[in-house]
Each structure stands twice: as structure tokens, then as C-alpha cells.
Structure 1
Amino acid sequence: MRRVLAMIVAVVAIAAGAHAADLVPPPQAAVPIFVAPPPAPPSFLSEVRLGVTAHDPGGQESGSANLSGEILSGRPFIAADPILNMLIPRFHVGGSLNFNGQTSFGYAGLTWTFDITPEIFIEGSFGGAFHNGKIDPVPHRDALGCSALFRESGAIGFRFAQNWSVMAIVEHLSNAGLCSNNRGLTNVGLRVGYTF
């Protein structure tokens, strides 16, 4: 009888142990130490650029240089298709200050950036500008014809670090023949950009 009682106790103990083991939660998977932060919401300010340009080489005002600066917005929205995404422009505003008292100007417009590779890109921009130069012919000055001008620019750039780029730029201002004089103004130079 004692033997039967001992066997019953042993069976109950084993069964109880099995049920207790079933109640223990399975071991948790290891949680990574580093968790990436959620993506930041898009910001209006996307990039700042600063550079130097040769002022109107070969023109009436040649022989001086400009300090040029520009800020760019982010794209207003992002397309799923990368090709379509490149067609979405960014808004820009900038200025060019001549070091020798020649024509300086401020401008605003739209910029399109096309990535050739992850590091190399080309850009085109179009917009308007206001200047402090001469409208009518004056010796050694460009006769720009209107106070408000169209501005176009093109650039080729290289991203040499995660947030930094350098680019060669050419920009042209003219009134497209809408005023009596239309000498136009072309600057060429280099810029460094910092992307936020």
C-alpha cells in the first residue's frame, strides 16, 4: 500500500511540475541596444550654400568677384518613383554681393536636382532677380534694361561627405528682350553646400 501511495505522489508531483513549466513564459528575444530614432518630419530649410563667383567674365563689369549665398527648401512632397521624384523642385532664395561696387542682386525661384550617382549630381534652376546695377548704357557697366530680371543657373556637384557638397555653377541674368537694353550678366564660380 505504501508503494502504491508513493507512486501516486510521484505521478502527481511530476504532473504538477509539467503544468508549472507550461505556465513559465518562453524566453524573450534579445532586444537590440541601439534603436534608430523615428524619422524627423520634413523641414522647410533643406540646404545652405556659400561660394565665390567671377563677375561677368568677358563683359563690361569683368575683373571682380562676388560672394554668393543661397538657401534651399526641401521638396514639398516625395514621390515613390525616384525618376518622378527628381522632377519635383525645391524653392530657393539667394543673393550675390559684388566686392567691387558692381552689380549685386537678390533672387528666388525653383531648383531641380538630378542625381547621376549617389555622389554626383547636376542641377538647373529658374526664377527672378532684382539688382542694383545700371538699366541704361554707362561706361564700364552692364546695361541690364530692367530692374527685375530672369535668372537661370546650372551646376554640377559632388557630395564628398554625408552632409557636404561642392559644386561648379554658372548663372545668367537677363530680361529676355522685354526691355530696350538686354546686355545680361553671367557669373561662374564654386559653392560649398551643407544639407540638414
Structure 2
Amino acid sequence: MGCCRDLCILILFAIFNLFGSLHALEAITGTQFIVDDENGSLVSSDGNSKLGFFSPCKSQARYVGIWFNKISEQTIVWVANRKTPVRNSAGIFKIGGDGNLAVFCCNQSSPHWSTNVSVPAQTSAAKLSDSGNLVLVAKEIIIWQSFDYPIDTILPGMKFGWNWKTGLNRILTSWKSIDDPTPGNSLQELTLTAYIRSFCTRTQLYNLSLSLFILN
């Protein structure tokens, strides 16, 4: 009897995983999007990371976030609309008319949150990588990625600090509370300091000192 019961449990578990994988999207496109229900999600190819709508702890507000898919306790590592939650369960996460990823509510034309980048072609798509990085791609080029906008967690492969080419500063900010992912009072960042002192004549450079700390 014990063996039969264990076998039934394994079969049910396999069926549950099968249906879960069938409902989860592999990419967000102009025709495929995520709605706020129990089946609306985007899962990485290895199944380790998952993106979908969630409510933190006792809050009723709805956010789009990324968490570890194979850990029983939901551990949020990134939040899209942390400052602008959806106040009901009518949220949609999709590619907008301008090619950007955006969080909408009901039939509202203005998004609660958007990647807000210049999209070279309106054939963009979004995927969740195995590392937990949400990327927006157009013409096979990454034009936006969540790794450039961390919340309070650094994941393997994520860079922290300044990108001197773009001027982007990747910083960490705490949640306001366990119920509210709005930026809190705790902040961690790397500061950029440049000090150049020189004294020149017509033909000679007498002194040049440079103290520069840049993290690319």
C-alpha cells in the first residue's frame, strides 16, 4: 500500500509540473503576455527563475516580480513596478505599442511601469534567462535588462556600480517594509570620484595626478 501511495504522489506531482510548464510562457511578445492569475507566468528555460504577479506578505497590492521557482518559500529578487503597484488583480504585463515592456491595469492606456527605452523595431520580445535576468530584445540585440536595475539582491552575473560608457549607476535599495517594496532608507552604492590636478606651461606638464575609481 505504501509503495502504491508513493507512486500516486509521484504521478500527481509529475502531472502538476507538466500542466504548470504548459501554462508558463517562454517569452513575452506582441501576441503573448502575462495576466494576473495563477497560470500567468514567465519561466526560465532551466525552470529555476519565474516571473509573475505577486502580493508581498499581507499587502493586497499587486507587483510584477522575479523569484526562485524551485524554493518553497517565495523569495523575490527583483520587482518591476515597485513604486506603482496595481491595486487589483486586473494587471497585465506585456509589450506595449512602442515595443517596451510595461505593466498595465485593465484597459488603461498609460502604463503603471515601463522599460522606457528606445526600441529600434516593434518586433521586440522579452525572455527570462537562467540567471534570473529579464531581457528585452529587438533584432537580436539586448536593449534593456533587469540586471541593470537591481532592487535589493545581487544575483550571479549581475554587475554593481557605475557603467562608465552609459553613465548608469547600479545601486541597491532596501524595501520600505516586508509588505512594501517601495525603496526604503537603506542604500548601497559605489561612488565615482575623479580628481585631476595639473600645472602646465607652454611645453611641459609639471604635475598630473589622477584618482579615478570606475566599475564598468
TM-score (normalised: structure 2): 0.23
More strand by share: 1
Q: RCO higher in 1 or 2 (8 Å CA, sep ≥ 6)? A: 1
Q: TM-score, normalised by structure 1?
A: 0.25
